[in-house]
Amino acid sequence: MPAPRRIKTAYNARTKSGHTLKKKIRDAERLLSRPSLPADKKVETERALAAWKLELQDATKSRIEHKMDQKYRMVKFFERKKIQRELSRVRKKAAACEGKVPKDLKDSIHTQEVLLNYTLHYPKGEVYISVLKDLGENVEGAKRREEIKKDISRRMKKGTLGAPTEDDDEEMEEAEQPAPTTKAKGDKPRAPGKKNRWGEKPGKSEAETIENDDFFEF
C-alpha cells in the first residue's frame, strides 16, 4: 500500500518556505565568504541576502501567529460566547427602558462590546490573556490586558478596529457538536455512567469540558 500523501496546508507551506529561505541564506553567506568573488556578483548576492533575511522574518512571524491562533482559539471562542450572551442581555434591558437609557446601562453595554472586541481583535502572535479570568497576582498580565482593552476602546471610538483576527466561529461551532457515532449490530444502549465493553466510562467532549470549566466563569 502506498504511503499516505501529506496534505499541504498553509502551515506546512510556511514551514517549507522558512527552510528554503534558511538554505538560500546559508548558500549566499558561503558564497560571500569567497575572496575571489567578483564585485558585481558580490553586490548582487548581498542584495539577495538582505531580501531573503526580511522574508525569513516575515515567515517566522507568520508561523508564530499561526501557532498562537491554534493554541488559544478554543479559549477565545468560549469567552466570546459568554460575552455575547451578557451583551445580548444588557441590550435587551436597554431596549426595554422607557425614555432615556440610564448611563450605567450604556456603560455596561460599552464594556461588553470592548470585551467582545478584545477576543476578536487580540494582537496576533501574543500569548492570549483571558479577558474574563481573575489573574490574581499576575500583575504583568493584568497590566497588558488593560492596555489592550484601552487600545480596543480607543480604536472603537475612532472606528479603526479593522478586520477581526478571529473569524472562525462557524467552524468552531461545528467542532463543538459531537461527532455522529455508528452503532454496531447487536449493541444495546448503556445506562448513564455504565462502562463499555472495554471498561471505559463515557466522558465529556472537549468542548463541554472547556465551557464548564471555572476558567470561563463570568
pLDDT of residue 57: 87
Positions of the chain with pLDDT under 70 = 1-16, 165-218
> With helix as H, strand as E and coil as C, how does 178-201 read?
CCCCCCCCCCCCCCCCCCCCCCCC
Dihedrals phi, psi of 164, to nearest 5 degrees: -65, 150
pLDDT of residue 6: 40
Q: What's the pLDDT tens digit per position in 37-77?
A: 999 999 999 999 999 999 988 888 888 878 888 888 999 99
Asked if 93 and 109 touch (Cβ cutoff 8 Å), the reply is no
In contact, 66 and 9? CB cutoff 8 Å: no
The CA distance from 157 to 110, in Å, is 11
Residues 200, 180: Cα–Cα separation, whole Å: 19
* Residue 191, pLDDT score: 57
3-state secondary structure the chain: CCCCCCCCCHHHHHHHHHHHHHHHHHHHHHHHCCCCCCHHHHHHHHHHHHHHHHHHHHHHHHHHHHHHHHHHHHHHHHHHHHHHHHHHHHHHHHHCCCCCCCHHHHHHHHHHHHHHHHHHCCCCCCCCCCCCCCCCCCHHHHHHHHHHHHHHHHHHHHCCCCCCCCCCHHHHHHHHCCCCCCCCCCCCCCCCCCCCCCCCCCCCCHHHHHHCCHHHCC
- C-alpha–C-alpha distance, residues 124 and 14, integer Å: 16
Model confidence pTM above 0.85: no
What's residue 210's pLDDT?
Answer: 43
